[in-house]
Amino acid sequence: MCPFLFAENYISRELLSVLKRVNGNKFERIDDMSKEIREYDKNVQFEIGQRIQEIRLDKNMKSIELATELGITRNQMSRIENGRANCTISQLFILLQILGGSADYILFGKKYEREIKITKEQKEVLINLINAFNE
């Protein structure tokens, strides 16, 4: 675990504990919100891992190959793909370069299909250009 994340979690828990002591049970709602946020984070982490795995499989790449490229173990790669571990920003950047995926898709599940509209004249020019290369 990253020491900064541990410190942040520890400080948050410590602050919450102090607030509860000062204000009694008024902060039970914060505990409920914290649980909801943690559950949401787990779901997002799982979905990101599943999209990484989907793209890797579409590229016919083995998890050990991707793990090696990322400088992590096959076990850690499996944990990322199964939503039991996060990848770092630098690992995500490398993943995008290796797999050629979109950050929008991996992080948010958004696929964009761009429709390019061209005029008839532009279409004819493109067809003539393609035909010239085929000759």
What is the domain-level CATH number for residue 74?
A: 1.10.260.40
The per-residue pLDDT for 63 is 93
**Region 93-110: what's the mean pLDDT?**
88
- CA–CA separation, 28 and 107 (whole Å): 31
Do residues 92 and 98 lie in contact, with contact meaning Cβ atoms separated by under 8 Å?
no
pLDDT in tens, 54-85: 999 999 999 999 999 999 999 999 999 999 99
Residue 62 corresponds to which tokens in the numbers above? 């083995």
How many separate domains does the chain show?
1
Do residues 121 and 59 lie in contact, with contact meaning Cβ atoms separated by under 8 Å?
no
Structural domain range at position 128: 3-134
Most confident of 10-19, 46-55, 125-134: 46-55
> For tokens 């000062």, what's the residue?
22
